[in-house]
Structure 1
Amino acid sequence: MIKKTLFFETDIKKDGLLKIEKAYNKMLEEMNTGVTGYYDLPINQENVIEDIYDFIATNEYLEHNLIKDLVVIGIGGSSLGTRAIDTLLKFSHNRNIINIHFLENLDPLYLINSIKNIDLSKAFIVIISKSGTTIETISIAKYIFSLLKDPLKGLDINQKIAIITDKDSPLDKLSNERGWKVFHIPKNVGGRFSVLSPVGLFPLAVLGYDIEELLKGANIMREEFLHHGPNLLMFKKAYFYYKNANEKNINILFSYSSMFEAFNKWYIQLWGESLGKKTKSKKRVGLTPIGLIGSIDQHSFLQLIIEGPKDKTVTFLKLKNFELPVTVPHISLPYLETTDFANGRRFQTIINTQCDATIESVIEADVPVDLIEINELNESSVGYLIYYFELLTSAVGAMFNINVYNQPGVESGKQKLKIKLSK
């Protein structure tokens, strides 16, 4: 389903193997003691899935597919994962004909113009906040509520809203009082690791995706992790990142399909917010994530990779089957005859050959490269890919001996905002 190849040195000495084994054991400890619950999201969610499908089947709007717009109000981990998966799968045959809108930022121009494209009389609203007090999310929700107060619209908001939050959060308490449907995020699952929880599962199910297959794909990767342990190729990659962190502190995800653009953004949050930390000795560590799209960024960022500072690694994401046999027409244009070598070729063949050629060029420039090849995009392969990057993040963090799952730098900014706006 998914093939992974490392093109850099993988011969690891004894101390490196011990570091890998220690990191793996730390991850097992995190799993077994519940330090973070994302490890077990691919399993033990039968009740969650049943609750989601029961709600969809009994809700008068969702059951009969009477909604035109699905509005997700959330920011960061509350929206990036869902957006990434929907963007990857949106051309699949089983997606419902529903427009999805992500209301994330407090930029008033973005917000007002986004709402103009929403038919609130035919919209279902999902509000997602783990803490239940996220200022962007709650502020936007208040604004949407103000638009729904017009009695002439005749809207039953209680049937057109769902809340996803921590149990006993302020938002959970409000929902219970108002009679809104609530799905709970496991307490030990942080936002950026939450896409395989109700945070992603509910809106994706409303869109028509097979969320059981999504979890099955993630569980394939989970089983590989448990079965192969420290021998998993992922740990060699993680160790390389750790060992070369001072010299190779920029990690590029070069994805060869425009459908990966939102996935790249999800990866950037996961990698940056998880690994940019201070150690117990107050040493600053971290790896800088960058997301690129091929072949577009061959015409921009590639020059910096090949001839710029040797401070980067590159992971290529390659989709082998786009399932669309579109070809370059056999047309020869005056003065452009030098481009005729592509005539009759599938677009899929060209973009994947561009990927192969770029990989060769980057390797020749002595930049560390690895490749992830995906046969096709479906719920299973996407679930596998999500879980792979989550595990990789945890592995690197375990080697740095940091807390992968907190974000004290982000929390500091939130507190300062509250103080400033309270004056």
Structure 2
Amino acid sequence: MNVVQKPETAAAAGNPLKKLEAVKQSPWLDFIQRSFIHDGSLKKLVDEDGLKGVTSNPAIFEKAMGHGTDYDDQFKQLVGGGNTDVSTLYETMAIEDIRAACAVLKPVWDATEGLDGYVSLEVSPYLGLQTEPTIAEARRLWKTVDVSNLMVKVPGTEPGVPAIRQLIADGININVTLLFSLDAYKAVLEAYIAGLEERHGKGEDISHIASVASFFVSRIDGLIDKEIDKRVAAGDKDAETLKALRGKVAIANAKMAYQHYLEVSASPRWQTLKAAGANPQRLLWASTGVKDKAYPDTLYCDELIGADTVNTMPPATMDAFRERGTVAETLGADIEAARKVLADADRLGLDLNGVTTKLVKDGVDAFADSFDALLGAVAAKQTALLADTLTKTELSLPQDVDEGVKASLDRWRKDGTIRRLWQRDASVWTGKDEAKWLNWLTIVDDRLGDIAVLQSFQDEVKAKGFSHVLLLGMGGSSLGPEVLAETFGHRAGFPELHVLDSTDPQQVASFERKVDLANTLVIVSSKSGGTLEPNILKDYFFDKVKQAVGDKVGSHFVAVTDPGSHMEEVAKKDGFWRIFYGDKQIGGRFSVLSNFGIVPAAAMGLDLREFLENAQRMAKACSDGAPPLQNPGVILGTVLGVSAKLGRDKVTVVASPAIYDMGAWLEQLMAESTGKEGHGLIPIDDETLGGPEVYGHDRVFAYLRLADSPDAGQDKAIEALKAAKQPVVTITLSNTLQIAQEFFRWELATAVAGAIIGINAFDQPDVEASKVETRKLTDAYNQSGSLPAETPFGTDGDFSFFADEKNASALGGSSLEDVIKAQFARIKEGDYVALLAYIERDDATRDWIQKARLAIRDGKHIATAAEFGPRFLHSTGQAYKGGPNSGVFIQITADDAADVAVPGAKYSFGVVKAAQARGDFDVLAERGRRALRVHIKGNLKAGLDRLGQAIAAAAA
């Protein structure tokens, strides 16, 4: 069928690239770059060399976008135009180039009636082994680019074949890539024909559809020749025959593919489609650059010339062929010799099938690696252009942590784990119910979409002239708003935000005194609506506000709760002014950027758009397209997770004074998410920095540094820790509004850390256990009018000591000092001590607990936690009970100076607090924790003073 012409050299016959047209082969260029298109270089190739198409791939775009300046202006325009993610940045710029190249090639497309003149754009290489996502991606790109001479590039993998068939049936031009074996090519050609037949059978036009099958060449010889050289060097008995096969196998393989093309083209089945206007799926020779300098640099051009084929050449190969290429119809020549080459290769065990199988896998991996590099380069430029509008991260890690972090980040890159996380794949964690708790990933965009409603509420709050906002909540519904209140304070023209998250009767009364009830907006915040504390706080303050304003009480109340909750029923029954809904697929500790945080932010007068757009900026920086090495959330989470697995599980949060309260929010996020099944992160918040000598080897330090108001003492202490080879993550915020960015980054980081540790980051089984025990005690009180009796194992004046039998036997002693000393004697290296104080949280008690914890840390060189109950029950309590058994606990309770009744209930706030403390302690004991409860009667200050002295003495 093919007549071999007499070879004509470039010198004798002019430009070989132009001469290819005479033998019906089309030269395409495997290269694209913006300046190359805009300066006329691409058009010059079309005009002077007869160029008929262009292919692109991630490696080409990575070189162009990541290392040149061609794209800088558009980079700046896109980054400055609003928040966008890395994938969108790349795609926007790539599509502009593709369209521009298509415009240059459009005259070729017209002249050849749609046979040539195409520019290829690849579907995401991450989809190489996924059928349905490939179809969806190709359809989206086809629609987005919207030019007739686009070819969407799809890999010819086993999952890619059905995608190709469907896309051809859709009428989309397809460049099939990554073909190495004859069998794979046969499957692809069958898919093309079947897709055309399906379309034709429905009476749809098939004359405008074009496709090429990219058959890779030089990579085959690269592996085969390497094996040949190895065997020849080893003295193989067939050395001479093996040497004769060098540089021959790939071409022979390609010739067999072309023979199959010719056979199918002559078949009645194809002739029927041809009569209906179908274009052939031409073989395209890819990977035609010569890697071995022993071969002519035009080898894979000279030897693969034949009708109805394409040769896509990198620029250097095209230059070489233009200068010294030989044009002859070689593809159909010496077919028997080609068959012998393949037979010899098979007989000698060169395993062409194994080589092509490996090359497909390697090709998929290599394309993904190139795409990682491309997106990483785009991400790096984006970060540089964002400058101070995005928070910065600096790592200072000891060698073992640094090596572990790098290895983990590379695994996440190779496994595509961040993409799986964003796809809500539960197997990232434990494969249980994690997927239903991930709406926090997109809640910022959701809230921006609803911002008009939130801003309207904000305007109404201001118009009503409230002087205070009192938020009633626990855990996730209160800690985020508390950060806002502490960080931004009282905003001019808006009410001042107060957050009450305690059942301590003194604290309830104290907050009542802080606000003018007649001019206070009360936000009752409860996801489930069934949590005890928000419900009784609501009952109390509803009664108090009613006494102040009468029947208008409902107009002073707003509920934030999940749809269908008990709190929604209460709010409707009591005529609340507004009900804002949470998202059932967001857990409380991940809810700060949902209505649970944004409604209080609106009420206190924050600029909602600016706040949410800050959060969005970080969400985009942490998107699925940002490779792990450039992904702020993945980097932070990897440091935390890897450190925990290396025994550095005490995450010590240090924050600039103006944003100090971030630590309280981070405590809950990390502790509830990771502290379970005997593993997890133990957050250490508000522990004043000391010198390197007071720390062990179980810490990782997270320093949230506010650039516009840094603390010189903190900076100096952090530098000393770095010098001492302690792991330090420094996160620099340019201004306070960037805490919104850190909200999102730490949520993602915590999810990543949970995945690395190997737990479900979204349940809290041991928090629920404490609630169950508390409910048992309050039920008992309702039935009998008193809590069940309990007997101390020892007393000392105003002090009583409680513990389960095992702990009591270990502690013994009759004096406070002896008991505390015995408890501290159980501390081991790598432990931490937690002081759990069920007393009013005010300035005096906070000062006391700080002095006590620092005495322990400096004396014992271990981490310390200083917590107030019951708020920590919905925060660090999970890690204390479900995390590693490295905690030594001293629970502190006291007689209440005064109690406060709960309207409509038999029990009081004091009774509830006592039940919570006892329920908490019971679960600690049940989990085998080293737990001691010290109860103070009488004067609380005097009792705390003596307890503090006993702690200092025991720690010394």
* Interval containing the TM-score (normalised by the shorter chain): 0.7 to 0.9
User: What are the within-5 Å matches in structure 2 for residues 23-422 of structure 1?
Assistant: 23-30=417-424, 34-46=436-448, 48-57=450-459, 59=460, 62-90=461-489, 95-150=492-547, 153-154=549-550, 156-180=552-576, 181-226=578-623, 227-231=625-629, 232-245=631-644, 246-257=646-657, 259-278=658-677, 284-292=678-686, 297-298=688-689, 302-303=690-691, 305-322=692-709, 351-352=711-712, 354-378=713-737, 381-422=738-779
SS of match in other structure, 2:736: coil
How far does the alpha carbon of each residue in 1:51-79 deviate from its partner, in whole angstroms, 9 at most, with x for none? 2233344x4xx242411111101111111
Matched, 1:4 2:404: no
Q: CA deviation at 1:317?
A: 1.6
The 2-side partners of 1:321 and 1:392 are apart by: 25
Amino acid across the alignment from 1:27: L
The 2-side partners of 1:206 and 1:95 are apart by: 12
The 2-side partners of 1:271 and 1:371 are apart by: 18
Distance 1:13 1:191, change over 3 A: closer
The 2-side partners of 1:48 and 1:417 are apart by: 38
- Check whether the contact 2:440–2:591 (CA below 8 A) recurs between aligned residues: yes
The 2-side partners of 1:212 and 1:248 are apart by: 38
- Highest relative contact order (Cα 8 Å, sep 6+), 1 or 2? 1
Match of 1:18 in 2: 411
The 1-side partners of 2:496 and 2:724 are apart by: 44
- Check whether the contact 2:457–2:603 (CA below 8 A) recurs between aligned residues: no
Distance 1:149 1:87, change over 3 A: closer
The 1-side partners of 2:446 and 2:510 are apart by: 41
Match of 2:111 in 1: none
Amino acid across the alignment from 1:41: I
How far does the alpha carbon of each residue in 1:342-373 deviate from its partner, in whole angstroms, 9 at most, with x for none? xxxxxx5xx34x33322221022221112111
The 1-side partners of 2:483 and 2:493 are apart by: 17
The 2-side partners of 1:288 and 1:168 are apart by: 34
Higher helix share: 2
The 2-side partners of 1:34 and 1:422 are apart by: 33
- Check whether the contact 2:733–2:739 (CA below 8 A) recurs between aligned residues: no
The 1-side partners of 2:639 and 2:756 are apart by: 10
Which has the higher mean CA deviation after the structures are superposed, 46-55 or 391-400?
46-55
The 1-side partners of 2:620 and 2:605 are apart by: 26
- Check whether the contact 2:440–2:590 (CA below 8 A) recurs between aligned residues: yes
Aligned residues: 374
- Check whether the contact 1:74–1:128 (CA below 8 A) recurs between aligned residues: yes
Amino acid across the alignment from 1:198: N
Distance 1:129 1:420, change over 3 A: same
- Check whether the contact 1:48–1:198 (CA below 8 A) recurs between aligned residues: no
SS of match in other structure, 1:179: coil
SS of match in other structure, 1:362: helix
- Larger radius of gyration between Structure 1 and Structure 2: 2
Overall identity of the aligned pairs, in %: 23
Match of 1:327 in 2: none
Q: CA deviation at 1:13?
A: 5.9
The 2-side partners of 1:48 and 1:128 are apart by: 19
Amino acid across the alignment from 2:752: A
The 2-side partners of 1:7 and 1:405 are apart by: 29
Q: CA deviation at 1:244?
A: 3.3
Distance 1:73 1:15, change over 3 A: closer
Match of 1:335 in 2: none
Structure 2 unaligned residues grouped into runs of 5+: 1-387, 427-434, 781-956
Q: CA deviation at 1:409?
A: 0.6
Q: CA deviation at 1:16?
A: 5.5
- Check whether the contact 2:396–2:729 (CA below 8 A) recurs between aligned residues: yes
Amino acid across the alignment from 2:454: I
How far does the alpha carbon of each residue in 1:19-75 deviate from its partner, in whole angstroms, 9 at most, with x for none? 464542442232895542111111022453222233344x4xx24241111110111
SS of match in other structure, 1:285: coil
Distance 1:237 1:191, change over 3 A: closer
- Check whether the contact 2:622–2:634 (CA below 8 A) recurs between aligned residues: no
Which has the higher mean CA deviation after the structures are superposed, 354-363 or 29-38?
29-38
The 1-side partners of 2:633 and 2:571 are apart by: 42
The 2-side partners of 1:184 and 1:376 are apart by: 30
Structure 1 unaligned residues grouped into runs of 5+: 279-283, 323-347
Amino acid across the alignment from 1:40: T
SS of match in other structure, 1:253: strand
Distance 1:356 1:54, change over 3 A: closer
The 2-side partners of 1:153 and 1:29 are apart by: 50
CA RMSD between the two structures = 2.3
- Check whether the contact 1:129–1:164 (CA below 8 A) recurs between aligned residues: yes
Amino acid across the alignment from 2:682: T
Distance 1:153 1:25, change over 3 A: closer
Distance 1:113 1:403, change over 3 A: same
How far does the alpha carbon of each residue in 1:273-309 deviate from its partner, in whole angstroms, 9 at most, with x for none? 111022xxxxx2101111237xxx23xxx14x53432
The 2-side partners of 1:382 and 1:16 are apart by: 25
The 2-side partners of 1:26 and 1:126 are apart by: 37
Distance 1:261 1:155, change over 3 A: farther
Distance 1:213 1:401, change over 3 A: same
The 1-side partners of 2:642 and 2:466 are apart by: 51
SS of match in other structure, 1:156: helix
